[in-house]
C-alpha cells in the first residue's frame, strides 16, 4: 500500500497540470479571438486582472475603469478567468497568467504565503504585479492600490453615532435608552480576503472613543461565511434570530449588505435594526432611499481600476512607481442617494 502512494500523487499532479494547461489554452484562444474581434488591433501590452468573483458588480466596475484607462495607453486588459465553465481560485489564475507571459498582473491580494510566492515568481520572470484592494505587503509587488481602511473605520464610527442618535429620537421609549450601551455588530469576512478588517475595526473604536460617551457602545465582530451567497444568507439570518440582536449592523461587503437588508425586511425589523452598508449598487441605493439601509460607503471603482493600470504603466516605463495608491471612498445616505440613483449607481457617478 505504501508503494502505491507515489503513483497516486503522480496521477493527481498530472491531472492538475492537465486542467491548468487546458484552461491556459482556452484563455489564450480567448485572447486571440478578442483581438480578431477588435479588427486585429495590435496592443503594446497585455495585462491580466485577477479577482475572486469576476461576476460581481464591484469587480466588473473596477475592470471597466481599468479597461478605459488602458485604452489611452494602447494596452489590452483581460479579466482573467471570466466566462469559464470552471471556477478557478485566484492562486490558479495567477499561475495561468504567469504561464501565458502577460506583461503585467493586477491581482486581489490575500495576504497568504502562497499568493506572495506566486507574486514573487511573476516578478522574477519579469512580470510586474500590482495588488489591488487587499495587499500582500511582504511580496515583491511593485505597488498596492487600495483604500484607507482606518479612514473607512472612522467614517463607519461616525455613522454608528448618527444611526444611534436617530434611533433614540424616533424610539424614545426603547429599552436600550435605559442606560444600556447600544449593541453594534461588525460583520467580518471569515476568510479575511477583502481588506484589513482589523484596521477598519480600529478606526471604528477610535471614533467611538473620541466622539461618543464612555460605555455608550458595545462593539463586537461576527465572522460571516462568505464562501457563497447561500452561506452568507444563513450566517446573517442566524445573527438576526439571536435573542440579543444588535441595534446597529455594520456590513463590510456588498454581499453582506444586500443579504442583511433583505433579512431585516423578511423578519420585520426595519426601524429596529439599523444597517450601515458597503458599496453603491442599485439595490443598495434603493434600500437607502426606502430607509432600510441607513447609509453606505462606496469605493470609487473606476479610480481603483485606473490606478492599477497607471501603476503598471509607470513601472514598465520608468522602473519605479508609488508603493501605494488610495482610491476615494464616498458616504451615501438619504441626503445624496437620489443623485446616485439618477446616475445608475455602481460607481457611475
Which one, of 57, 274, 316, lies nearest residue 169 by Cα?
Answer: 274
Domain boundary among 90, 117, 141: 141
Please check whether residues 222 and 276 belong to one and the same domain.
yes
Please check whether residues 153 and 263 belong to one and the same domain.
yes
Please check whether residues 59 and 75 belong to one and the same domain.
yes
Residue 309 in domain: no
Q: Which residue has the higher pLDDT, 256 or 176?
A: 256
Please check whether residues 37 and 114 belong to one and the same domain.
yes
Residue 6 in domain: no
pLDDT digits (tens, 9 = 90+) for 83-116: 777 889 999 999 999 999 999 999 999 888 999 9
> Band of the pLDDT at 239, cuts 50, 70, 90?
confident
Is 3 a residue whose pLDDT tops 60?
Answer: no
Question: 3-class DSSP state for residue 112?
Answer: coil
Q: Which long-range contacts (CB under 8 A, 24 or more apart) does 210-219 make?
A: 211/157, 211/158, 211/161, 212/161, 215/181, 216/164, 216/181, 216/182, 217/160, 217/164, 217/181, 217/182, 217/184, 218/181, 218/182, 218/183, 218/184, 219/184, 219/185, 219/186
Is 5 a residue whose pLDDT tops 90?
Answer: no
Please check whether residues 156 and 275 belong to one and the same domain.
yes
In angstroms, rounded to a whole number, what is the distance separating the alpha carbons of residues 148 and 65?
19
Residue 316 in domain: no
Please check whether residues 125 and 154 belong to one and the same domain.
no
Query: Which residues span the domain enclosing 36?
Result: 12-141
Give 249's DSSP letter.
E
Residue 192 in domain: yes
Please check whether residues 189 and 338 belong to one and the same domain.
yes
Domain boundary among 141, 167, 192: 141
Domain count for the chain: 2
Residue 126 in domain: yes
Residue 286 in domain: yes
pLDDT digits (tens, 9 = 90+) for 186-199: 999 876 544 578 89
Please check whether residues 195 and 244 belong to one and the same domain.
yes
pLDDT at 197: 86
Please check whether residues 161 and 96 belong to one and the same domain.
no
Q: How many CB atoms lie within 10 A of CB 314?
A: 16
Mean pLDDT check: name the lowest of 16-20, 179-183, 185-189, 206-210. Answer: 16-20
Please check whether residues 179 and 133 belong to one and the same domain.
no
Residue 348 in domain: no
Domain boundary among 94, 118, 141: 141
Give 223's DSSP letter.
E
Residue 307 in domain: no
Please check whether residues 106 and 171 belong to one and the same domain.
no
pLDDT at 32: 44
Please check whether residues 51 and 163 belong to one and the same domain.
no
The CATH number covering residue 225 comes to 3.40.50.2300
Amino acid at each position: 500500500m505504501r508503494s502505491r502512494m507515489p503513483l497516486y500523487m503522480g496521477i493527481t499532479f498530472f491531472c492538475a497540470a492537465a486542467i491548468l494547461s487546458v484552461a491556459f489554452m482556452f484563455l489564450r484562444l480567448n485572447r486571440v479571438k478578442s483581438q480578431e474581434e477588435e479588427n486585429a488591433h495590435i496592443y503594446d501590452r497585455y495585462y491580466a486582472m485577477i479577482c475572486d468573483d469576476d461576476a460581481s458588480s464591484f469587480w466588473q466596475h473596477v475592470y471597466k475603469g481599468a479597461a478605459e484607462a488602458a485604452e489611452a495607453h494602447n494596452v489590452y486588459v483581460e479579466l482573467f478567468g471570466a466566462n469559464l465553465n470552471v471556477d478557478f481560485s485566484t492562486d490558479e489564475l495567477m499561475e495561468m497568467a504567469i504561464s501565458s507571459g502577460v506583461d503585467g498582473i493586477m491581482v486581489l491580494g490575500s495576504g497568504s504565503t502562497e499568493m506572495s510566492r506566486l507574486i514573487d515568481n511573476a516578478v522574477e520572470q519579469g512580470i510586474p504585479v500590482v495588488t489591488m484592494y487587499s495587499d500582500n505587503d511582504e511580496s515583491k509587488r511593485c505597488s498596492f492600490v487600495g483604500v484607507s481602511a482606518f479612514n473607512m473605520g472612522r467614517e463607519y464610527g461616525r455613522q454608528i453615532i448618527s444611526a444611534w442618535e436617530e434611533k433614540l429620537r424616533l424610539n424614545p421609549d426603547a429599552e436600550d435608552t435605559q442606560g444600556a450601551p447600544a449593541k453594534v455588530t461588525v460583520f467580518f469576512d471569515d476568510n479575511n480576503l477583502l481588506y484589513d478588517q482589523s484596521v477598519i475595526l480600529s478606526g471604528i473604536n477610535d471614533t467611538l472613543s473620541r466622539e461618543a460617551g464612555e460605555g455608550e457602545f458595545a462593539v463586537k465582530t461576527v465572522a460571516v461565511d462568505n464562501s457563497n451567497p447561500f452561506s452568507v444568507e444563513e450566517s446573517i439570518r442566524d445573527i438576526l434570530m439571536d435573542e440579543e440582536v444588535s441595534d446597529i449592523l455594520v456590513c463590510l461587503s456588498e454581499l453582506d449588505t444586500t443579504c442583511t437588508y433583505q433579512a431585516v425586511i423578511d423578519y420585520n425589523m426595519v426601524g429596529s435594526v439599523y444597517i450601515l452598508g458597503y458599496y453603491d449598487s442599485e439595490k443598495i441605493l434603493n434600500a437607502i432611499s426606502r430607509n432600510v439601509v441607513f447609509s453606505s460607503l462606496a469605493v470609487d471603482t473606476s479610480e481603483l481600476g485606473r490606478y492599477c493600470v497607471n501603476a503598471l504603466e509607470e513601472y514598465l516605463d520608468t522602473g519605479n512607481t508609488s508603493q501605494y495608491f488610495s482610491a476615494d471612498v464616498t458616504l451615501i445616505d438619504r441626503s445624496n442617494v437620489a443623485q446616485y440613483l439618477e446616475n445608475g449607481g455602481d460607481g457611475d457617478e
